[in-house]
Amino acid sequence: MNGERKVISFTVTGFGEEYTVQTYENEYRNLMVLLNDKIYMEDFGQCGGQGRCATCLVEVTAPGGGLLTHERNEQSTIAKKGRVGQNARLSCQIFINDALNGAVINIPDDLL
Ligand code: FES
Protein backbone atom coordinates (compact mmCIF):
# COMPACT_ATOMS: atom_id res chain seq x y z
CA MET A 1 0.00 0.00 0.00
CA ASN A 2 2.38 2.61 -1.19
CA GLY A 3 1.86 6.11 0.08
CA GLU A 4 -0.83 5.22 2.55
CA ARG A 5 -0.15 6.69 5.91
CA LYS A 6 -0.99 4.80 9.04
CA VAL A 7 -3.55 6.48 11.23
CA ILE A 8 -2.44 7.19 14.78
CA SER A 9 -5.35 7.37 17.19
CA PHE A 10 -5.28 8.40 20.83
CA THR A 11 -7.44 9.91 23.54
CA VAL A 12 -7.12 13.33 25.10
CA THR A 13 -8.81 14.10 28.40
CA GLY A 14 -9.12 17.44 30.09
CA PHE A 15 -11.62 20.08 31.17
CA GLY A 16 -14.11 17.31 31.94
CA GLU A 17 -14.10 16.26 28.28
CA GLU A 18 -12.73 13.33 26.38
CA TYR A 19 -11.61 13.66 22.78
CA THR A 20 -10.52 11.06 20.29
CA VAL A 21 -7.76 12.44 18.11
CA GLN A 22 -6.59 10.96 14.83
CA THR A 23 -3.46 12.00 13.07
CA TYR A 24 -0.55 10.61 11.03
CA GLU A 25 3.12 10.27 11.71
CA ASN A 26 4.72 13.72 11.70
CA GLU A 27 1.51 15.47 10.68
CA TYR A 28 2.45 18.08 13.29
CA ARG A 29 5.82 19.21 14.58
CA ASN A 30 5.01 17.83 18.02
CA LEU A 31 2.11 17.01 20.33
CA MET A 32 1.87 20.55 21.71
CA VAL A 33 1.24 21.94 18.21
CA LEU A 34 -1.33 19.24 17.53
CA LEU A 35 -3.22 19.91 20.77
CA ASN A 36 -3.26 23.63 20.08
CA ASP A 37 -4.66 23.00 16.63
CA LYS A 38 -7.28 20.41 17.54
CA ILE A 39 -8.28 21.71 20.97
CA TYR A 40 -7.84 25.42 21.37
CA MET A 41 -6.32 26.25 24.73
CA GLU A 42 -5.32 29.67 25.81
CA ASP A 43 -1.77 29.95 27.16
CA PHE A 44 -0.82 26.40 26.22
CA GLY A 45 2.71 26.11 24.84
CA GLN A 46 3.86 29.64 25.55
CA CYS A 47 7.52 29.15 24.68
CA GLY A 48 6.64 27.76 21.26
CA GLY A 49 8.12 24.34 21.90
CA GLN A 50 11.53 25.21 23.28
CA GLY A 51 11.02 23.10 26.38
CA ARG A 52 11.28 26.04 28.74
CA CYS A 53 7.83 27.11 29.91
CA ALA A 54 6.12 23.86 30.97
CA THR A 55 2.73 25.31 30.01
CA CYS A 56 2.38 22.38 27.63
CA LEU A 57 2.63 19.78 30.39
CA VAL A 58 0.51 16.65 29.99
CA GLU A 59 0.18 13.36 31.83
CA VAL A 60 0.74 10.37 29.64
CA THR A 61 -0.56 6.84 29.88
CA ALA A 62 0.77 4.81 27.00
CA PRO A 63 0.53 1.14 26.16
CA GLY A 64 3.79 -0.65 26.89
CA GLY A 65 5.18 2.35 28.75
CA GLY A 66 6.22 4.17 25.59
CA LEU A 67 6.45 7.97 25.65
CA LEU A 68 7.91 7.99 29.13
CA THR A 69 11.50 8.71 28.18
CA HIS A 70 12.24 12.33 28.93
CA GLU A 71 14.23 14.48 26.55
CA ARG A 72 17.24 16.40 27.74
CA ASN A 73 16.36 19.13 30.27
CA GLU A 74 12.72 18.15 30.23
CA GLN A 75 12.61 17.00 33.82
CA SER A 76 14.07 20.21 35.20
CA THR A 77 11.45 22.25 33.33
CA ILE A 78 8.70 20.01 34.68
CA ALA A 79 10.08 20.32 38.21
CA LYS A 80 9.57 24.09 37.99
CA LYS A 81 5.87 23.37 37.93
CA GLY A 82 6.19 21.28 41.06
CA ARG A 83 5.23 18.14 39.21
CA VAL A 84 6.99 14.91 39.81
CA GLY A 85 6.24 11.57 38.36
CA GLN A 86 7.34 9.67 35.39
CA ASN A 87 4.16 10.25 33.44
CA ALA A 88 4.44 14.05 33.37
CA ARG A 89 5.80 15.13 29.98
CA LEU A 90 6.18 18.31 28.00
CA SER A 91 3.92 17.77 25.02
CA CYS A 92 6.28 19.84 22.84
CA GLN A 93 8.90 17.12 23.37
CA ILE A 94 6.62 14.33 22.16
CA PHE A 95 6.71 13.62 18.45
CA ILE A 96 3.82 12.35 16.43
CA ASN A 97 4.61 8.71 15.83
CA ASP A 98 3.34 5.24 16.54
CA ALA A 99 4.20 5.43 20.25
CA LEU A 100 1.16 7.71 20.61
CA ASN A 101 -1.22 5.13 19.20
CA GLY A 102 -3.65 4.05 21.93
CA ALA A 103 -2.24 6.48 24.47
CA VAL A 104 -4.27 8.60 26.86
CA ILE A 105 -3.04 12.17 27.19
CA ASN A 106 -4.45 14.06 30.14
CA ILE A 107 -4.25 17.84 30.25
CA PRO A 108 -4.15 18.72 33.94
CA ASP A 109 -6.47 21.69 34.25
CA ASP A 110 -4.89 22.92 37.47
CA LEU A 111 -1.83 23.99 35.51
CA LEU A 112 -3.46 26.28 33.01
S1 FES B 1 5.86 24.78 24.79
FE2 FES B 1 7.04 25.55 26.39
S3 FES B 1 7.82 23.78 27.37
FE4 FES B 1 6.60 23.01 25.77
Question: Distance between the two ends of the chain, CA-based, in angstroms?
Answer: 42
Residue spans per domain, the chain = 7-106
pTM of the model: 0.91
7-106 folds as Ubiquitin-like (UB roll) (3.10.20)
Among 28, 36, 42, 46, say which to mutate for ligand 1: greatest number of ligand atoms within 8 Å of CB.
46
Average pLDDT over the chain, rounded to whole?
90
Q: How confident is the model at residue 56 (pLDDT cuts 50, 70, 90)?
A: very high
Which ligand 1 atom lies nearest to the CA of residue 47? 2
- Gap between the Cα atoms of 28 and 92, Å rounded: 10
70 close to 93: Cβ distance less than 8 angstroms = yes
- The residue-averaged pLDDT of 92-100 equals 95
Query: Is residue 17 predicted with pLDDT exceeding 80?
Result: yes
Model pLDDT, residue 19: 95
Among 44, 72, 92, 107, say which to mutate for ligand 1: greatest number of ligand atoms within 8 Å of CB.
92
